[in-house]
Amino acid sequence: MDFELTEQQRLFRDGVRAFVEKEVAPFAALWDREHRFPVELMPKLGAAGLLAVQSPESTGGTGAGPIEYSLAITELARACASTSVTVAVTNLCSDVIRKFGNDAQKQRFIPRLASGEAVAGSFCLSEPHCGSDAAALRTHARRDGGDYIINGSKNWITNGGHAGVYIVMATVNRELGPKGICAFIVEKRTPGLITGKEERKMGLRASNTVSLAFEDMRVPAENLLGREGDGFRIALASLDGGRIGVASQSVGIAEAAQAAAIRYARDRKAFGEPIANFQAIQWMIADNQVDIETSRFLALRAAWLSANGKPFSREAAMAKVAASEAANRVVNRAVQIHGGYGYIGEFPVERYFRDAKVTTIYEGSSEIQRIVISREVIQGSRA
Amino acid sequence: MDFNLTQEQSLIQKTTREFAEKELVPIAAKLDHDGVFPREIVDKLAELGLLGVAVPEQYGGAGMDNVCYALAMEEISRGCASTGVIMSVNNSLVCDPLLKYGTEEQKKKWLVPLAQGKILGCFGLTEPNAGSDAASQKTTAVRDGSQWVINGAKNFITNGPQSSVCIVFAMTEPEKGNHGISAFIVPADTRGYAVTRVEDKMGIKASGACSLAFEDVHIPAENLLGTYNKGFGVAMSTLDGGRIGIASQALGIARAAYEKALKYSHDRTSFGKPINQHQAIAFMLADMATELDAARLLIWKAATMKDKGVRHSMESSMAKLYASEMADRVCNKAIQIHGGYGYIKEYQVERHWRDARITELYEGTSEIQRLVISRSLLKD
């Protein structure tokens, strides 16, 4: 048993940290204020090896594993939660192609995602009427000669307005339920791919979230990932990894909030001494750290299981629900420690507070995570 | 990074799990009811090497690492929390400081029989008017020729009624506060050493906790443990290790409650289905399972740091704080899942809740843990 990072992992993390401090941290508040997706950052993220962390170098990826990926997302999220989700979803797309794509698909799409040439990737599962219950999706795909014709709409699509590569989930037959779902790789500028309104969000304002409509969108059959009916499995498998990503993001946001809270508690005086001297403040700082460390170890354990080819659905769900809910407690305490200053844009904690909220919702809400965990423990213990 | 157990760690986990299942689970309720110290069980712990788990074999211990100790504490406490604390005090609070601060002679004389489980030891820090605030204690030690003379009183001393030796903390220069405390090895059969009051407790009822009185207790000069006036450091460093033990105890108690709740949730039906098919119950089980894992990871982290010999005060405090408060929540939920049956002794979860409550109090209250953690983070 060993909780230490390897030398290589430490170097990787330090490299990401240095990149983030130079290219991301100084601008995060501005991007947030302006609701601006930083397109110019994408090739830099690509050059830093952060857009296809787990894809092999032969396809332009970084060739690292789930632990490194988790560390990268945490580092990004410490500076800018929006950028971390942009990066996470792009990685999700290259990961899906890496795991389920054929060689031609890998060679064609992963390098474009990895370099930032595609700007970003976009994973299209949620629909207006179905989020957690993915098997109920209605977007329809119909085979037509060498193509599929896709009709339907998607909601809450991260990177949807900028992506060069989309993974679209659609069903060939709704009556088949999960078994009818297929995953397609769809390129930008495909006729019939219509970008809808961009959402104005409470947080993650520098990430791009849109609705999409597909109107007789024609996709070549060679862009089907795996086989017809593999889509649900692909969606679920990617969500397990995605949950480690959100847990890691939650850790990053919480770490940033805790660092700000500690800094402020030392500087700010009340009743003649730094507020760090009061137990009311010390207790919040202590509880924050416990929340952060439990989240970190749960996330890294899930990543480690994944890296070792072991099942990790339950552990990823535990990491996701614990870390996201912990992050929300931590940012709340950080705002409280800042008093009125925590509520204004001059200090970063109000941004952390807004950014943290989504972590309990996307990639499977807390409720979905609890369903995943409880099903496993209940079924696993049935006599 | 590696979350696998070593072969030795897996083995001690398996051995102690089987031992607990066979020897502790069947009698834990009766031990709790009777409140009688489980002498035979303690002898069996000794045979298994569980009274000096992380003590090198040359000093009578099992020569294992602190992760092994944490694993064993979890399993034993899952079977019987009283047995868990008896084990924890002997290992963490008595053997550990003797190993770390004792002279070779002191180790041969005291550590060997303690680690072998031939005798039990206790830790005399808390006083009637000085718990968390150890520096305000009143017990004194005065040099008299080749001897120390100790006067004062201690209370809430776990294993006190059964111990042959006590690590006693006393003021050697009271005006110096923390810097005027020294640690002493005091044999229980010394004239003037008395067990004055045995407590009737809410939980961990089969372990003994008592008050001790020292009236002109004369001990030889060589029984000073560690450096003169450095006893506070001995106490604090000892508690860093002890907190790993108590965190593991809390984890074991919580796991026992969780496992009972999970089982009950299959057996009990309401509205036509097992209650675990209702989200209200299923989600409680999900949170319990998640929190158990989170606590275990914090404990293992602290234990690996102790094994590496690096300072782990904050990590031990985080493990202890989280695991103990987690145990309280988990036991509470286990009772809730049991409904009215949770309140009845037959189902035993009420015992787990009573047993869990102490883990937020001893070896540093939750408040002291938060103090340790926040100080580490806020110091410049």
Give pLDDT tens digits for B315-374: 999 999 999 999 999 999 999 999 999 999 999 999 999 999 999 999 999 999 999 999
Q: Is residue B126 part of a domain?
A: yes
Same domain, A312 and A374: yes
Same domain, A221 and A247: no
Same domain, A262 and A199: no
Verify whether the Cβ–Cβ distance A371 to B289 is below 8 Å: no
**What DSSP string describes A151-174?**
EEEEEEEETTTT-SEEEEEEES-G
Per the structure, the complete domain to which residue A220 belongs is given by 122-229
**CA–CA separation, A290 and B373 (whole Å):** 9
Same domain, B372 and B241: yes
Q: Is residue A136 part of a domain?
A: yes
Same domain, A243 and A353: yes
**CA–CA separation, A46 and A38 (whole Å):** 13
Same domain, B219 and B282: no
> What is the pLDDT at residue A374?
98
What CATH number is attached to the domain comprising A163? 2.40.110.10
- Relative to beta strand A193-198, strand A209-220 is antiparallel
Tokens 């009772």 -> residue: B335
Single-letter amino acid code for the residue at A77: A
- The burial class, CB within 10 Å (0-12 / 13-18 / 19+), for A67 is buried
Q: Is residue B67 part of a domain?
A: yes
Same domain, A164 and A204: yes
- The burial class, CB within 10 Å (0-12 / 13-18 / 19+), for A346 is exposed
Tell me what the mean pLDDT of segment A42-67 comes to: 98
The two tokens of residue A27 are 């601008």
Same domain, B302 and B252: yes
- Rounded to 10 degrees, what is the CA torsion of A16, A19, A22, A23? -110
> What is the pLDDT at residue A237?
83
- The burial class, CB within 10 Å (0-12 / 13-18 / 19+), for A301 is buried
Same domain, A141 and A236: no
Same domain, B333 and B306: yes
CB A169 within 8 A of CB A134: yes
Same domain, A139 and A70: no
From A229, A256, A272, the end of a domain falls on A229
> What is the pLDDT at residue B132?
75
Provide the pLDDT confidence category of residue A93 given band limits of 50, 70 and 90: very high
Same domain, B83 and B127: no
Tell me what the mean pLDDT of segment A236-258 comes to: 94
Of all residues in chain B, what percent carry a pLDDT higher than 70? 100
What CATH number is attached to the domain comprising A373? 1.20.140.10
- Pick from A307, A304, A298, A309: nearest CA to A373: A298
**CA–CA separation, B137 and B181 (whole Å):** 9
> What is the pLDDT at residue B50?
98
Same domain, B138 and B257: no
Same domain, B256 and B222: no
Catalytic residue among B259, B325, B363, B367: B363
The two tokens of residue B368 are 């002291």
Same domain, B138 and B182: yes
Residue A271 reports pLDDT greater than 90? yes
What CATH number is attached to the domain comprising B52? 1.10.540.10
Under an 8 Å CB criterion, which residues of B touch A? 1-6, 9, 67, 262-263, 265-266, 276, 279, 282-283, 285-287, 289-291, 293-295, 297-298, 300-301, 304, 314, 318, 321-322, 369-371, 373-375, 377-378, 380
Q: Is residue A71 part of a domain?
A: yes
> What is the pLDDT at residue B380?
66
From B85, B120, B155, the end of a domain falls on B120
From B77, B96, B120, the end of a domain falls on B120
From B231, B253, B275, the end of a domain falls on B231
Provide the pLDDT confidence category of residue B131 given band limits of 50, 70 and 90: confident
Tell me if residue B171 falls in helix, strand or coil: strand
Same domain, B199 and B252: no
Tell me what the mean pLDDT of segment B203-224 comes to: 97
Single-letter amino acid code for the residue at B38: P
Provide the pLDDT confidence category of residue B146 given band limits of 50, 70 and 90: very high
Tell me if residue A131 falls in helix, strand or coil: coil
Same domain, B260 and B370: yes
Same domain, A27 and A90: yes
From A180, A202, A229, the end of a domain falls on A229
Instruction: Provide the 8-state DSSP code for A78.
Output: H
**Mean pLDDT value across chain A:** 96
Question: Number of folded domains in chain B?
Answer: 3
Q: Is residue B68 part of a domain?
A: yes
CB atoms within 10 A of CB A5: 17
Residue A383 reports pLDDT greater than 70? no
Same domain, A237 and A374: yes
> What is the pLDDT at residue A158?
96
Same domain, A368 and A249: yes
Tell me what the mean pLDDT of segment A316-328 comes to: 98
> What is the pLDDT at residue A130?
80
Same domain, B111 and B130: no
Q: Which residues of A touch B334 (CB under 8 A)?
A: none
Please tell me which of the candidates B291, B304, B370 has its beta carbon nearest to residue A1: B304
The two tokens of residue B50 are 């569980």
Tell me what the mean pLDDT of segment A253-282 comes to: 97
Q: Is residue B355 part of a domain?
A: yes
**HEC profile for A210-244?**
EEEEEEEEEEEHHHEECCCCCHHHHHHHHHHHHHH
Q: Is residue B2 part of a domain?
A: no
- The burial class, CB within 10 Å (0-12 / 13-18 / 19+), for A9 is middle
Verify whether the Cβ–Cβ distance B266 to A382 is below 8 Å: yes
- Pick from A229, A247, A206, A191: nearest CA to A71: A247
Same domain, B156 and B251: no
Q: Is residue A1 part of a domain?
A: no
Chain A residue with the nearest C-alpha to that of B67: A1
Same domain, A372 and A282: yes
Determine what percent of chain B falls in helix, strand and coil, rounding each to the nearest 5. 60, 15, 25
> What is the pLDDT at residue A132?
65
Q: Is residue B282 part of a domain?
A: yes
Q: Is residue A200 part of a domain?
A: yes
Single-letter amino acid code for the residue at B144: D
Whole-prediction pTM: 0.94
From A82, A97, A120, the end of a domain falls on A120
Residue A124 reports pLDDT greater than 90? yes
Complex prediction ipTM: 0.92
Question: Number of folded domains in chain A?
Answer: 3
**Mean pLDDT value across chain B:** 97
Same domain, A25 and A113: yes
Verify whether the Cβ–Cβ distance A304 to B276 is below 8 Å: no
Per the structure, the complete domain to which residue B138 belongs is given by 122-231
